[in-house]
Structure 1
Amino acid sequence: MDRRRFLQLSLTVPLAGAAGLLPVPSLAAGAKAANRPAPRPRMIVLDPGHGGIDPGAIGTRGTQEKEVTLDIAREVARLLSGRHRLGAALTRSDDRFLELQERVDRAREARADLFVSIHADSAPNREARGLSAYTLSEKSSDAFAASLAQRENAVDRLGGIDFKAQKRVVKDILLDLTARHTKHASLVARQSIVKGAGKDLRLLDNPMRAANFAVLKAPEIPSVLIETGFLSNKLDEEILRDPKARRTVARVLAREIASLVTRAPFA
């Protein structure tokens, strides 16, 4: 099933508070599907935040976000491709700096069905801790999300990127993102991942938020940014610096991502 079909079907998934049942495929539709070639596996592109000259957040014990995100993303990719039989790719597989637009471009080149950017930032409030998920919105859902987006969008300055040269491109992408298919599918992904992860992992208060994250601007790809925790919080840092705990986070994320992209009506 191609990405367009995926986005169309995502509109039938109810968000929190919506009523209704998921549609049941007809027998005729099933017969037609049997004559078609087997669809390619779903492709999930995982984006380990930061890297290279950009360490991201640094905890009080020296834990670097770029190392946490790469370790978790690698394990999620391994589980998706092995245990869950899905396609999985990384925007970076080692310690290198990537421009935000380059991350988006790599997801588009891979024909991603879902783009998940993985982070472990510093929060505006050091008491904030727990997993949370963010979708794109020109208007932030709250000051907390706005602060995170502002910090994330500033990383390109480390690589000497000319923002003025990108202004028109970003504007065009934002216009494309008004398409309700991509936006709705992103909201469905955010809700599904957070709801499932909350069964095993601590969640941030109000764990589903939105802000103008540059890395979520692939116009035709459902995109979500996951904060696995905050290195500005001592308890979260203690968890995220522990390899065993990171494996648990990765296992939960892989499980929920696989559940999202393979269950009806997405399958």
Structure 2
Amino acid sequence: MTPGFAASEGNTLTIALDPPPPPPPMPGVTGPAGAPLVVIDAGHGGYDLGAKAATGEQEKDLTLAVARSVHDALARHGRVRVALTRTDDRFLALRERYEMARELGASLFLSIHADSAGDDQAAHGATLYTLSAVASDAEAAALANRENKADIVRGVNLSGRSEAVTSILIDLAQRESLEDAASFTNLLYREARPVLRFRRDYHREAALVVLKAPDVPSVLLETGYITNEADRSLLASDDSRARVGAAVARAIEMHFAKRLASR
């Protein structure tokens, strides 16, 4: 039925709407079976352009190029499994992005972006974001009430459990995820610092929706300011992106190796 206003009788008005679109397809996974999985998310896409440089580059294109560089480096090494939330210019809702990581059973989620400072061309440097504790607690409450608790967190089916047990399980999963995310942030800063100019306050916490998977450690990397010429030039260079991709891939592999050794 074509959406719009239908004929009505009396004071009754019927509005015909299109059905909701189907969920996006699950991304393909590259890497050896049984290896830990990281999902790399290229920010923005489709009609969501993100920031735009004075020279015309769009954030959605640069983030995809950086994400591909990380993916390709990991695929060449063959030590972990890796998937991209998008491989082309398509729009994905924020929730769809982190839900992909959850559906695939990812052990790490990394969302890649490029910052913008409007007319302030002096602002520069990369930043790492993790979810703030206050925001994550609110998300835990929402998750517990959604879909009558028929959900799975860290492999534990929550359906049929009491509110108290559900809250405890989600809280434990989130605490572990936040700790893992903070640990990965330190590794990523150390490995990428030689190729990315990080801000002095390089680690920040924010209630970013894309980081709100309660059971997947999640980090957002702002690779630099697209409104700063030096940062933009680095992100627009194939060679520089390859170095960034190699550094990020190295941090991911070290993170998983560290987790494996601590078990």
TM-score (norm 2): 0.71
Cα deviation for residue 98 of structure 1 reads 0.2
In structure 1, the gaps of 5 or more residues are: 1-37, 141-167
SS in 2 for 1:135: strand
SS in 1 for 2:261: coil
* 2:253 aligned with 1:258: yes
More displaced, 220-229 or 171-180?
171-180
Task: Name 2:91's counterpart in structure 1.
Answer: 97
Kept in 2, the 8 Å contact 1:113–1:221? The answer is yes
Task: Name 1:110's counterpart in structure 2.
Answer: 104
Task: Name 1:172's counterpart in structure 2.
Answer: 142
Give the aligned residue type for 2:248: L
Give the aligned residue type for 2:233: E
Q: How many residues align?
A: 203
Kept in 2, the 8 Å contact 1:128–1:204? The answer is no
Aligned-residue CA RMSD (Å): 2.5
Kept in 1, the 8 Å contact 2:139–2:212? The answer is no
CA distance 1:82–1:45, change in 2 (3 Å) = same
Q: Which has the higher strand share?
A: 2
* 2:244 aligned with 1:231: no
SS in 2 for 1:127: coil
CA distance 1:97–1:219, change in 2 (3 Å) = same
* 2:61 aligned with 1:67: yes
**Cα offsets for 1:121-168 (capped at 9, x unmatched):** 21375422122211001569xxxxxxxxxxxxxxxxxxxxxxxxxxx9
Separation in structure 2 between the aligned mates of residue 69 and residue 266 of structure 1, nearest angstrom: 32
Task: Name 2:148's counterpart in structure 1.
Answer: none
**Cα offsets for 1:54-112 (capped at 9, x unmatched):** 11110111111111111111121121122142100011111000000000111111110
TM-score (norm 1): 0.70
CA distance 1:266–1:193, change in 2 (3 Å) = farther
Separation in structure 2 between the aligned mates of residue 200 and residue 103 of structure 1, nearest angstrom: 27
Cα deviation for residue 237 of structure 1 reads 1.0
Kept in 2, the 8 Å contact 1:84–1:258? The answer is no
Task: Name 2:160's counterpart in structure 1.
Answer: none
In structure 2, the gaps of 5 or more residues are: 1-31, 145-166
Task: Name 1:144's counterpart in structure 2.
Answer: none
More displaced, 103-112 or 120-129?
120-129
**Cα offsets for 1:201-228 (capped at 9, x unmatched):** 3211211111010000011000000011
* 2:217 aligned with 1:247: no
Kept in 2, the 8 Å contact 1:173–1:217? The answer is no
SS in 2 for 1:103: helix
* Residue of 194, 207, 216 corresponding to 1:199: 194
SS in 2 for 1:133: strand
Separation in structure 2 between the aligned mates of residue 48 and residue 177 of structure 1, nearest angstrom: 28
Consecutive aligned runs of 4 or more in structure 1 exceeding 6 Å deviation: none
Q: How does 1:46-195 map to 2 (within 5 A)?
A: 46-123=40-117, 126-137=121-132, 171-173=141-143, 176=170, 179-195=174-190
Kept in 2, the 8 Å contact 1:120–1:229? The answer is yes
Separation in structure 2 between the aligned mates of residue 187 and residue 201 of structure 1, nearest angstrom: 19
Separation in structure 1 between the aligned mates of residue 193 and residue 46 of structure 2, nearest angstrom: 31
**Cα offsets for 1:158-197 (capped at 9, x unmatched):** xxxxxxxxxx978524974673211111111111111221
Kept in 2, the 8 Å contact 1:127–1:233? The answer is yes
Give the aligned residue type for 2:62: V
Separation in structure 2 between the aligned mates of residue 169 and residue 196 of structure 1, nearest angstrom: 31
Separation in structure 1 between the aligned mates of residue 141 and residue 121 of structure 2, nearest angstrom: 33
Identity %: 38
Larger radius of gyration: 2
Task: Name 1:41's counterpart in structure 2.
Answer: 35
Give the aligned residue type for 1:80: L
